[in-house]
C-alpha cells in the first residue's frame, strides 16, 4: 500500500502539532495579533491492495485509509468471552495487550462471533469462513464460529509480519476444501513431541485443520498402551505427551487423526504375538499381516482402538486396510485356505478372502463407534464380492499401483467421499525408495489440484464436492535418510503450496518465485 504522506497518523484526537495555547480565551497565550495557523492537509491515501498471505485470501474489497499495524497501547478485545483464547494468542504474537470484552478504540483488534439481529449466530458462510475489516485504525474479525475467527487472526498475523501493514478494506475468506491435512509416519521413525508440536503451530498458521499420526506399523508401535503394553516400542510418545499434542492442535482448530493400520502393517503387534502371523498353505509367514480368521487378532486391535478413544477425542479415525498381503497374490483362496474357509463360514458359500477383509474393516469401523468419521486406504476397497465397505468409510486415495487397481472415478461413481493423498505429488518418502521422489512445492503449486487424485490427470469437475480435501504425507521408509530437522526443511514449501491449493484451487495469482519470496518474508 502506497501512502502519499510521509508519516503514520498518531493515535490521539488532536492534529499532532502545536501546544494548543493559541486559542486560550484568557489572552495569556500567543499574541492576538499573530497570523492564524493554516489548516493541516488531510492525508490522502492510495486505494489499498489485497493482503499478501499464504494461503492467499479469496476476496478483498479495497478502500482508502492508513491501514493498521500493531503499536504501543494497542489491545485485542472480544465481543464474546468464548474468543478469549484466540485473543490471548494473537495478543501474545503481536505484542499487544488482551483487553477482555470491550468495544475497540483506535489501534485495537476486536474479535467477534457474527450474529443476526436476534442475537443468534449469523447464517451464511461455513464455520471456517470469516470477515476481516480494517477501518479507522481498528481491525474487526468476525465469523460464524471460533474456527473462522482463528483463521482471520492468522491472516492478520501474516499481514503485519516483518513490519507490514494490514491494508484498509474488507477481506471475505473461506476455504475451498473442508479437509486440509498433514500426516506424519511416526511408526517407522520416532519424532519427538516437541517436533510434532512445532509442526502444529506451523500448520495452524497455514490454516490446515488436520494432523494425522500413523503410529503403528511393522517397525514399531509408538504410543503408550495400558491394554497391550507388550506391543509398545522403546521409543514412543507417552499418553501425557499425546494429550498435550491433542490440546495444542485443538487450540489451533486442528483435529488429530490417529491411524492403527490393519490387518496388514501390524508387525509390531505380531512381534509380541507371533501366533497371530498369517501363514500360507506351505507354512510360510507373511510379513506384517495378521491371520484374520483368528478371533484373537481382532480382539487385540479392538482393545487398542477402544483404549485410544479417550486419548483422541476428535471426530476422525484412519483404519488403514491397505496392502494386506493375502490379497496381493494371484489366487488368495488357494494360497490361504484358512482365510477362504473363514470367509465362507461367516459370509456364505460365495464369499472370498476379499470379503473377509472387507468384513474386518467394517468391524473396526464399528469398534471406533458411530460418532466417528472413518477412512481407509483405497486398496482396502474391492470390486465385486458378496459384501462391501460400510458407506460411512471415506476413501483415502493414495495410489493406483496395486494389483487390480481401480481408477478414482470408480469410487466417486459409487458415491464415495474421497480424501486426496496422491502419491505422485503429496508423498514425501524418506530415502526415495521404489521410484519415489521428494515432492517440490513448485510442482504442487503449478500443476496439482484436489481433482488430481491419481497420477497427473484430474477427475471430472462434477465430482468436486465428493473430494473432501487432501493430505500431504511424510512416510519414513528409510528412516535414517533424514533427521527431524531435515524433514522440517524439506516439507516447508510443499506444505505451503498444498495449503494454497486447498484453500483456493484456482490458479494462483502469484508466480512461484513471488510465492517463495512471500514465504520468506512472512515466515
Tens-digit pLDDT profile for residues 380-415: 999 999 999 999 999 999 998 877 788 999 999 999
Q: What architecture (CATH level 2) is domain 179-522?
A: Alpha-Beta Barrel (3.20)
- Mean pLDDT, range 151-173, rounded to an integer: 98
- List residues bridging with 477 in a β-sheet: none
- Mean pLDDT, range 127-134, rounded to an integer: 98
- For the chain, give the mean pLDDT: 92
Residue 263: asked if its preceding bond is cis (omega within 30°), the reply is yes
pLDDT at 38: 62
pLDDT above 70 as % of the chain: 90
pLDDT at 401: 81
Helices and strands (H, E) in the chain, number of each type: 14, 18
Tell me the per-residue pLDDT of 171-214, one tens digit each, with 9 for 90 and over. Answer: 999 999 999 999 999 999 999 999 999 999 999 999 999 999 99
Question: What is the spatial distance between Cα 409 and Cα 412, in angstroms, rounded to a whole number?
Answer: 5
Parallel, antiparallel, or unpaired for β 138-143 and 130-135? antiparallel
Tell me the per-residue pLDDT of 447-484, one tens digit each, with 9 for 90 and over. Answer: 999 999 999 999 999 999 999 999 999 999 999 999 99
Least confident span in 1-10, 86-95, 211-220, 299-308: 1-10
* Residue 21 reports pLDDT greater than 50: no
* Residue 9 reports pLDDT greater than 50: no
Fold adopted by 59-173: Chitobiase; domain 2 (3.30.379)
Question: What is the spatial distance between Cα 499 and Cα 445, in angstroms, rounded to a whole number?
Answer: 9
pLDDT above 90 as % of the chain: 87
- Which of these, 501, 496, 485, lies nearest to 518 by C-alpha position? 496
pLDDT band at 281 (very low <50, low <70, confident <90, very high): very high
pLDDT at 123: 52
pLDDT at 403: 72
Least confident span in 16-20, 40-44, 340-344: 16-20
pLDDT at 500: 98
pLDDT at 42: 61
Active site residues: 323
pLDDT at 19: 35
- Mean pLDDT, range 10-23, rounded to an integer: 35
Q: What is the CB neighbour count within 10 angstroms for residue 453? A: 28
DSSP, res 218: S
Least confident span in 35-44, 138-147, 358-367: 35-44
223 close to 269: Cβ distance less than 8 angstroms: no
- Mean pLDDT, range 499-520, rounded to an integer: 97
pLDDT band at 20 (very low <50, low <70, confident <90, very high): very low
* Residue 31 reports pLDDT greater than 60: no
pLDDT at 122: 54
**Which grid coordinates belong to 138?**
481498528
**Domain definitions of the chain by residue range:** 59-173, 179-522
* Residue 328 reports pLDDT greater than 50: yes
DSSP, res 71: -
What are the φ/ψ torsions at residue 256 (nearest 5 degrees)?
Answer: -85, 120
* Residue 1 reports pLDDT greater than 70: no
- Mean pLDDT, range 70-75, rounded to an integer: 96
How is 67-124 classified by DSSP, letter by letter? -B---TT-EEEESSGGGHHHHHHHHHHHT-EEEEE----TT-EEEEE-B-TTSSBPPS
For residue 57, how far is the Cα from the chain centroid?
17
- Which of these, 187, 202, 306, lies nearest to 237 by C-alpha position? 187
- Mean pLDDT, range 233-249, rounded to an integer: 98
Amino acid at each position: 500500500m502506497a501512502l502519499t504522506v510521509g508519516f503514520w497518523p498518531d493515535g490521539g484526537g488532536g492534529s499532532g502539532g502545536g501546544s494548543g495555547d493559541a486559542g486560550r480565551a484568557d489572552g495569556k497565550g500567543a499574541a492576538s495579533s499573530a497570523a492564524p495557523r493554516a489548516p493541516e492537509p488531510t492525508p490522502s491515501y492510495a486505494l489499498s491492495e489485497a493482503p499478501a498471505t499464504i494461503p492467499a485470501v479469496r476476496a478483498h474489497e479495497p478502500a482508502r485509509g492508513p491501514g493498521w499495524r500493531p503499536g504501543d497501547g494497542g489491545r485485542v478485545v472480544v465481543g464474546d468471552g468464548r474468543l478469549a483464547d484466540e485473543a490471548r494468542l494473537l495478543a501474545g504474537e503481536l505484542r499487544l495487550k488482551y483487553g477482555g470484552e470491550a468495544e475497540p478504540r483506535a489501534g485495537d483488534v476486536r474479535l467477534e462471533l457474527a450474529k443476526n439481529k436476534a442475537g443468534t449466530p449469523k447464517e451464511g458462510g461455513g464455520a471456517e469462513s470469516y470477515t476481516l475489516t480494517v477501518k479507522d485504525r481498528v481491525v474487526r474479525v468476525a465469523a460464524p464460529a471460533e474456527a473462522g475467527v482463528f483463521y482471520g487472526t492468522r491472516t492478520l498475523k501474516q499481514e503485519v509480519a516483518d513490519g507490514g501493514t494490514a491494508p484498509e478494506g474488507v477481506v471475505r475468506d473461506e476455504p475451498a476444501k473442508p479437509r486440509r491435512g498433514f500426516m506424519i509416519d511416526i511408526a517407522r521413525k520416532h519424532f519427538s513431541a516437541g517436533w510434532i508440536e512445532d509442526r502444529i503451530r506451523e500448520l495452524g498458521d497455514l490454516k490446515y485443520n488436520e494432523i494425522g499420526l500413523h503410529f503403528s506399523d511393522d517397525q514399531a508401535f509408538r504410543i503408550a498402551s495400558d491394554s497391550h503394553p507388550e506391543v509398545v516400542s522403546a521409543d514412543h510418545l507417552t499418553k501425557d505427551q499425546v494429550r498435550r499434542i491433542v490440546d495444542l492442535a485443538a487450540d489451533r482448530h486442528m483435529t488429530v487423526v490417529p491411524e492403527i493400520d490393519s490387518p496388514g502393517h501390524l508387525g509390531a503387534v505380531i512381534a509380541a504375538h507371533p501366533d497371530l502371523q498369517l501363514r500360507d498353505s506351505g507354512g510360510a509367514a507373511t510379513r506384517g499381516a495378521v491371520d484374520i480368521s483368528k478371533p484373537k487378532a481382532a480382539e487385540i486391535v479392538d482393545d487398542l482402538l477402544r483404549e485410544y478413544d479417550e486419548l483422541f477425542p476428535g471426530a476422525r479415525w484412519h483404519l488403514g486396510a491397505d496392502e494386506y498381503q493375502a490379497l496381493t497374490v494371484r489366487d488368495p483362496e488357494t494360497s490361504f485356505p484358512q482365510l477362504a474357509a473363514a470367509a465362507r463360514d461367516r459370509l456364505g458359500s460365495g464369499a472370498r478372502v476379499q470379503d473377509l477383509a472387507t468384513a474386518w474393516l467394517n468391524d473396526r469401523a464399528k469398534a471406533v463407534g458411530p460418532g466417528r468419521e472413518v477412512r481407509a486406504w483405497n486398496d482396502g476397497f474391492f470390486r465385486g464380492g458378496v459384501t462391501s465397505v460400510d458407506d460411512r468409510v471415506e476413501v483415502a486415495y493414495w495410489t493406483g499401483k496395486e494389483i487390480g487397481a481401480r481408477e478414482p472415478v470408480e469410487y466417486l461413481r459409487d458415491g464415495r467421499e474421497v480424501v486426496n493423498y496422491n502419491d505422485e505429488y503429496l508423498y514425501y518418502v524418506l530415502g526415495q525408495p521404489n521410484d519415489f521422489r521428494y515432492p517440490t512445492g513448485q510442482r504442487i503449486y503449478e500443476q496439482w489440484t484436489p481433482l488430481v487424485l491419481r497420477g497427473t490427470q484430474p477427475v471430472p469437475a462434477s465430482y468436486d464436492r465428493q473430494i473432501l480435501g487432501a493430505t500431504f504425507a511424510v512416510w519414513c521408509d528409510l528412516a535414517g535418510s533424514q533427521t527431524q530437522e531435515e524433514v522440517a526443511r524439506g516439507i516447508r514449501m510443499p506444505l505451503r503450496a498444498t495449503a494454497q491449493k486447498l484453500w483456493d484451487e484456482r490458479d494462483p495469482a502469484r508466480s512461484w518465485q513471488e510465492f517463495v519470496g512471500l514465504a520468506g518474508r512472512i515466515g
